[in-house]
Amino acid sequence: MFKELDENNFNEETNTGLKLVDFYTTWCKFCINQQSVLEELNTKGFWIGKLDCDKHPKVAEKYGISGFPSFILFKNGKIAAQFAGYHSKEQLLNKLTQYI
């Protein structure tokens, strides 16, 4: 299960551990296609948070998000990696395992 993020819980949820945040919109075709890949990673034990950028534009703006989907990998509250666009399961696993 994904953690839904917003202005109120974003910092608290991303402050410790390795956290992948998916910045998405409901109208983005690539975001919709990315969902099944993220579900696979989530079932493998990776923490994944999702932020709907249409509902929470201030958080997206704070991190300079302008394309969708966009991802930020946080490690103990600090940005470890930031990347955008559709990614395969293997591509995301490679990025995540670099920081474990």
Active-site residues: which are they?
28, 31
Cβ proximity of 68 and 83 under 8 Å: no
**CA–CA separation, 8 and 13 (whole Å):** 10
DSSP 3-state of 29: helix
Dig out the tokens for 95 from the structure. Answer: 């990025």
Checking DSSP bridges between strand 70-75 and strand 18-24, what pairing results, if any?
antiparallel
Distance, CA of 94 to CA of 64 (rounded, Å): 24
